Structure 1
Amino acid sequence: MKTILIPTDFSETAKHAAIYAMEIARQIKAEKVILYNTYQTIVTIGADPLVPAVDAVGIDNLKKGSETGLENFKFILLAYQPENIVVETLSEFNLLTPGIQSVCERMPIDVVMMGITGGDAIEENLFGSNTIQVAKNVTVPVIIVPKEAPVKPIEKVLFLCDFQKVVETTPIQPIIKVLDATKAALHVLNIDKDNSHFTPETPHESLMLHNLLHQYNPQYHFVDGNDFMETANNFVKENKIDLIISIPKRHGLFDTLFKRSHTKMMAFHSIVPLMVVHD
């Protein structure tokens, strides 16, 4: 894990995520951090309201504002920048999610780290937030950093697993990269309700996962719980987990964790960063 991409909108949430990313960059001995910001076209309505006109001056101002903002953001992060790590800035005319995906295709990005932005409005429409869209659509692993996440090294990693088609659906390489880079202890958690997910194949699938991860001496935990998020949060607190790894398609992460569900949204109520990897 040598290169980290940090998208930013220059908010306090983004600043905290960037400071956290710098600490992890120090821990994993990363070589490069890229601060990334996108800007979009300002469209003005001309004489014919059906024919929008592009304000070229507005584009220039947006470009300059983005570049200046990145340089100021980079300066703020100097106090947290590890030695021997190169920090670059990248400003692009694009939408955020496709922009990040494009960068990841053009450059050897190992992980994207970003906070949940949008202020209070995100609580009204969490699924539509930039961070969730990035985590859902970008193919590179994305670490979502809660605004109150402690800035500290990763010592304990929790992998949420349903033990279904483990070999076919577990993106093992991103998990291995995190474990190798951080030297963290690995916990594997399966959350069930009245053994409703236990099948005759479960013991075999458990063995398959162990074959993939045995060199990391994982500790396995099987917990019964009626509320997935509440059960996961309790486990995180009791076991002092530093990072959760989840595969969205495995247990409907974006249908379960990140939709509105009263006050039980893991993204807001856990102080633990969440790493999203796709199968």
Structure 2
Amino acid sequence: MSTYLIPVDFSKTAEHAAKYAAKLSRTMSGYKLILLNAYYVSEYETILPTLDFVITTDAHIAEEIHNRLEALEKLKRKLLEINPEADIEISLTRETILRSIVERINKEEIDLIIIGSNGKKAKDESDIGSNAITISKASPVPVLVVPPKADYQSIRKVILACDFKKVKEVIPMHSLRNILSKHAIELLVLNIDSKDNIDSEEQHFLHDMLKDFSPVYHYSDHPDTIKGIVKFAKAEEAQLIIALPKKYSFFQSLLHESVSQKLTIKSHVPVLLLKD
């Protein structure tokens, strides 16, 4: 069985990502969805008053836990309307969301984390969406980031964006094969640099590594890397962009606020951050 972990904070952003996961699970069998919510209360909150002179009491904590469990059950029912056959588990932890994610991954085999990214003018902004890149850096498993305008489509065409540099070190072939082998897809490899800057030896390595997927190679010399990827994805009507957030700064900052509008707001295409 494959397992998807979906951190939720009851925002519209998180609910959208959860619904996307339910639609994704509908196309395949043997998938489990885990709805994870974290409710962390520090010891200081139980002994020091807030700005409103309110101290977090045991009764308040118990009520909050009850309300969160009810909210998780409500979200679960919504997902079952999308996929009545879905195997859905709800989980409420008392740790921070990042620690909760890492502990759950250590506890059982998680194949994919699915989170939503915030919209440009989101009225119901998600803390999880705001920390998408932080979660992806801490996670040892792939993270799928679903933009607010992304509606699930059967994955037929996938874009792998890279720069043809140090391909042996940068491309996590095990994770890539695991993802691509589950779908009958057309793979488009986009070099985010001009043909003039390509190292022929690195290009040979990449062609050899990906030969089983029969990819088609494309090149982009757009002055704005992210805009170039988004423009290409739209033109090709791709359903997924795969990025490799390892050593290259533009991928490291892929989901920071400064560029999120370019990739996740203006684009309808979900972004898969692959890890080793």
d(CA) in 1 for partners of 2:99, 2:240: 26
The one-letter amino acid paired with 2:157 is K
- Deviation track 1:246-274 (CA, whole Å, cap 9, x = no partner) reads 11124324554334448953122111000
**Distance change >3 Å, CA 91–CA 260, structure 1 → 2:** closer
Give 1:61 shift.
2.2
d(CA) in 2 for partners of 1:262, 1:141: 20
SS at match of 1:278: coil
Q: Could you say which residue in structure 1 is the equivalent of 2:185?
A: 184
Q: Could you say which residue in structure 1 is the equivalent of 2:7?
A: 7
**Distance change >3 Å, CA 249–CA 125, structure 1 → 2:** farther
Q: Is the contact between residue 162 and residue 250 of structure 1 (CA under 8 Å) also seen in structure 2? A: no
1:212 pairs, out of 209, 216, 238, with 209
d(CA) in 2 for partners of 1:123, 1:61: 23
The one-letter amino acid paired with 1:247 is L
Count of matched residue pairs? 271
Q: Could you say which residue in structure 1 is the equivalent of 2:26?
A: 26
Q: Could you say which residue in structure 2 is the equivalent of 1:143?
A: 144
Give 1:125 shift.
11
**Distance change >3 Å, CA 126–CA 269, structure 1 → 2:** farther
Q: Could you say which residue in structure 2 is the equivalent of 1:108?
A: 109
**Distance change >3 Å, CA 73–CA 160, structure 1 → 2:** same
- Give the 5 Å matches for 1:74-153: 74-81=76-83, 83=85, 85-117=86-118, 120=121, 129-153=130-154
Give 1:224 shift.
1.3
Q: Could you say which residue in structure 1 is the equivalent of 2:172?
A: 171
Mark the runs of 5 or more structure 1 residues left unpaired by the alignment.
none
d(CA) in 1 for partners of 2:107, 2:260: 39
**Distance change >3 Å, CA 124–CA 60, structure 1 → 2:** closer
SS at match of 2:155: coil
Q: Could you say which residue in structure 2 is the equivalent of 1:71?
A: 73
SS at match of 1:189: strand
Q: Is the contact between residue 21 and residue 114 of structure 2 (CA under 8 Å) also seen in structure 1? A: yes
Give 1:46 shift.
4.2
Provide TM-score, normalisation by structure 2.
Answer: 0.87
Give 1:238 shift.
0.7
Give 1:31 shift.
2.3
**Distance change >3 Å, CA 159–CA 28, structure 1 → 2:** farther
d(CA) in 1 for partners of 2:254, 2:132: 14
The one-letter amino acid paired with 1:90 is S
Is 1:257 equivalent to 2:258 in the alignment?
no
Q: Is the contact between residue 118 and residue 126 of structure 2 (CA under 8 Å) also seen in structure 1? A: no
Q: Could you say which residue in structure 2 is the equivalent of 1:245?
A: 242
d(CA) in 1 for partners of 2:125, 2:35: 28
Is 1:228 equivalent to 2:225 in the alignment?
yes
RMSD between aligned residues? 3.0
SS at match of 1:182: coil
The one-letter amino acid paired with 2:217 is Y
Q: Is the contact between residue 243 and residue 273 of structure 1 (CA under 8 Å) also seen in structure 2? A: yes
Q: Could you say which residue in structure 2 is the equivalent of 1:55?
A: 57
d(CA) in 1 for partners of 2:150, 2:122: 20
- Deviation track 1:90-137 (CA, whole Å, cap 9, x = no partner) reads 111111112111111111110011112488479999999132321222
Provide TM-score, normalisation by structure 1.
Answer: 0.86
**Distance change >3 Å, CA 138–CA 255, structure 1 → 2:** closer
- Deviation track 1:131-176 (CA, whole Å, cap 9, x = no partner) reads 2321222111000001110221111111111111111221111211
The one-letter amino acid paired with 1:76 is K
d(CA) in 2 for partners of 1:226, 1:209: 24
Q: Is the contact between residue 20 and residue 152 of structure 1 (CA under 8 Å) also seen in structure 2? A: no
- Deviation track 1:66-97 (CA, whole Å, cap 9, x = no partner) reads 211111110111111153x3111111111111
d(CA) in 2 for partners of 1:76, 1:124: 20
d(CA) in 1 for partners of 2:160, 2:110: 22
d(CA) in 2 for partners of 1:30, 1:94: 29
